[in-house]
A = this chain, B = another copy of it.
């Protein structure tokens, strides 16, 4: 279905904003190393959800859905990886407190 250029532009603006929004969080965490306030459940659900969107876009041959979700998956997985690493590290620290 074709929409007016303004409406199509609004759609692209929305897609660009939500796709880009995940990068500042990944950058902040890579810089600070602090993931304490980050929800593990959020990034688990989000990563699986975005992967599903990507596969869905691939199956229905929808380029924008596939590309936008492939891009979004990158910062999301960075945050998830750091969160899990910090949780495992904290658990180990509690078991073997260094002095």
Contact = CB atoms under 8 A, between A and B. Distances in A.
A85 to B, nearest CB: 14
Contact of A42 (B13, B25, B39, B53): B25
Contact of A17 (B11, B24, B46): B46
B39 A37 contact: no
A94 interface: no
B42 A22 contact: yes
User: What's the number of copies of this chain in the assembled complex?
Assistant: 2
A70 to B, nearest CB: 13
A77 B11 CA distance: 20
Contacts of A46: 17-18, 21-22
Interface string A1-42: 101000100110111111111111101110010111111111
